[in-house]
Amino acid sequence: MSPLDDKQAAAHTASGNGIRSDLKLIAEMVEPGSRVLDVGCGDGALLAFLSRRKGVDGRGIELSMDGVHQCVAQGLSVIQGDAETDLKDYPPGAFDYVILSQTLQAMREPRTVLETMTRIGRRAIVSVPNFGYWRIRVQLLLTGRMPVTEKLGYQWWETPNIHFCTIKDLVVLAEEMGIRIERCMIVNGAGRVTGHAHSGLANLLGEQGVFLLRRD
Amino acid sequence: MSAPNPAAAVPAAVPAEPATMPGHRVTLGVDRPMRLDSGAELGPFEVAYQTYGALNADRSNAVLICHALTGDHYVLDQHPVTGKPGWWEMLVGPGKPVDTDRYFVICSNVIGGCMGSTGPKETDPATGKPYGLGFPVITIGDMVRAQKLLVEHLGIDQLFCVIGGSMGGMQVLQWAVAYPESVFAAVPIATAARHSAQNIAFHEVGRQAIMADPDWAGGNYLLEGTRPHRGLAVARMAAHITYLSEPALHRKFGRNLQNRQTVTYGFDADFQVESYLRHQGITFVERFDANSYLYITRAMDYFDLAADYGGGTLSNAFRRDGKGTPVRFCLASFSSDWLFPTSESRAIVHALNAVAANVSFVEIRTDKGHDSFLLDEPEFHQVIRGFLDGCAEHRGLTRPSRP
């Protein structure tokens, strides 16, 4: 599994297509037949889905050995490695898409990871849990304690998430880095896609955001 | 293709004569001798090999297995000298990860070896005597060159897969770099793109042990009627330690004493681990030639893909016409392997990433050390099976219907 292991993954209910709802949204952004690198590919669910349904030439990189075993044993091309150290070897434009789902907030240096992703991929697809989501805001406001939600099911002392951000934060960072947001999907608590990344409502109502990024 | 021949499995104190050994033997380099990396020429020369399974109509299902330092081509069948089962029985066979119902498996004894391929103990046609140290120094590249001639002799343009561990893994890498168009998939296991200084050092200990044995007779022991058994046994004992891990040795033997209650205050094999190593040494000399050991360890020492093909940069070795290698790779390392540690495999993975090659990599968690690739490691076997299945799908190899 990815750094956000079972607990968090399990929270993303499997869709009718057998993959998590956020992965399905990511898959929608990928052109058929393209070259894809899935960073933190977990058990390979997205890669398998993309290669079966969209005929992509997929690669993966995954931290946990269990995840890599599962991937390679089902015929996927996956290496055991760390996004923060093992991405830098790839040449510029090696992939059409570099995907990072629900993992950016677990990186020591999210900015560097974003930079690398948009260098080695013509496009990057990043999904992040939105720490500006209204339920999280309410929890912090009312209880005065670090929020624990269904999708972020960790206590503060055990969470792998070290760099939480809001949808708005990511929009601002992308602007600063000269990364264009080509497309964005905001997913609300009911799993429906709403709003626009730049709207304040998205930052309040979105439980997670899925961004299609491209370096200008 | 060939069935094991139990009748030929006669244990012998010295390596059996190739003529009596089961399997195939072909003479290569007849029209034109093979040019070696050293500049010397070899030919005609013999290559002994075994095949398992059947070649399909479009000759696309051939898997070449490359054996390790002291291995041979008896992958599946009983060893004709030791009578032991084939060395990769666990991984290769009907329904096994390298499925002989599906693939045509080839394994040859490396040149420089002593199980039927031309090596220092064979007769030099020029002199009518054993080559001895007159045998040219060979490299991993030369071994693979000979394998390429064998594969061509069998009428195969492209191997579906080349797979091997340790020195076999070096050959796999050499195949993928020297003949990328002739390899669809490559599986280098527990190996490295170059032999490290530490590994060269261990090999030198082994070679010095052999050469320090008076029975080695300057390499002419076959003519002198002696055998450097003691030197070769010591070489094997030292090497064997590097194939294991401290936890594995400890689990197996600890500080347990051998058939006694107390230490003897002498130099008998008081400890079980000593007795075990002595046994490893003694059984090894029955099946291996001392000069072959010198030549093959030297070949490993010289191996350096980055220097030979990449101008010092490993990723350049995997470039072809400005693009990355077309070969699909799967690397595997073992967490307790200190002879070919995971970092060596990872260096290869990084070099392959740098050319955006198609690569899988898994480190298998085990405490059994370097030799794990020969042992019952279900996770490792599962990875090999999955990778080959995936490759077979891409290569369009249909799964045979099993009764």
Q: What are the sequence ranges of the domains in chain A?
A: 3-215
Residue of B337, B345, B371, B372 marked active site: B337
pLDDT of residue A30: 97
Distance from CA of B282 to the nearest CA of A (A): 39
pLDDT grade, residue B100 (50/70/90)?
Answer: very high
- Name the 3-class secondary structure at B89: coil
pLDDT higher than threshold 70 for residue B78: yes
Structure tokens at A181: 């947001």
Considering only the top CATH level, what class is A3-215? alpha beta
The amino acid at B256: N
Give the model confidence (pLDDT) of B43-76 as tens digits: 899 999 999 999 999 999 999 999 999 999 999 9
Confidence check: pLDDT of A176 > 60: yes
CB pair distance less than 8 Å for A75 and B361: no
Radius of gyration of chain A (CA): 16
Residues of chain B contacting A, Cβ within 8 Å: 315, 328, 330, 346, 349-351, 353-356, 358-365, 379, 382-383, 385-387, 389-391, 393
Span B256-269, mean pLDDT?
91
Residue A33: pLDDT band with limits 50, 70, 90? very high
Tell me if A75 and B353 make a contact (CB, 8 A cut-off). Answer: no
Per-residue pLDDT band for A216 (boundaries 50, 70, 90) equals confident
Chain A residue closest in CA terms to B365 = A65
In the prediction, which pLDDT does B400 show?
A: 67
Cβ-based contacts of B361 with chain A (< 8 Å): 68, 78-81
The mean pLDDT of chain B is 93
Q: Write out pLDDT tens, residues B283-307.
A: 999 999 999 999 999 999 999 999 9
| pLDDT tens digits, A98-154 | 999 999 999 999 999 999 999 999 999 999 999 999 999 999 999 999 998 888 889
Is the dihedral angle over the CA atoms B80, B81, B84, B89 positive or is it negative? Answer: negative
With cut-offs at 50, 70 and 90, classify the pLDDT of residue B4.
very low
Higher pLDDT: B170 or B321? It is B170
Residue B1 has pLDDT above 60, yes or no: no
Q: Cα(B178)–Cα(B162) distance, rounded to whole angstroms?
A: 13
Which residue in A71, A80, A89 is closest to B353 by CB distance? Answer: A89
Classify each residue of B190-201 as buried b or exposed e, where b means 16 or more C-beta atoms within 10 Å of its C-beta.
bbbbbbeeebee
ipTM value = 0.86
Q: What pLDDT does B3 receive?
A: 41
The per-residue pLDDT for range B184-240, each reduced to its tens digit, is 999 999 999 999 999 999 999 999 999 999 999 999 999 999 999 999 999 999 999
pLDDT, tens digit (0-9, with 9 covering 90-100), for A42-62: 999 999 999 999 999 999 999
DSSP-assigned letter for residue A103: -
Put simply, the answer to whether A68 touches B330 (Cβ < 8 Å) is no
Residue A18 pLDDT > 90: no
Helices B140-153 and B167-178 pack at an angle, to 10 degrees, of 70
Q: Is the pLDDT of residue B107 over 90?
A: yes
Q: Residue range B93-97: average pLDDT? A: 97
| pLDDT score at A199 | 79
pLDDT at site B90: 96
Are B386 and A74 a contacting pair at CB < 8 A?
yes
- Give the confidence band of A17 by pLDDT, cuts at 50, 70, 90: low
Residues of A in contact with B399 (CB under 8 A): none
B333 part of the active site: no
Q: How many residues does chain A have?
A: 216
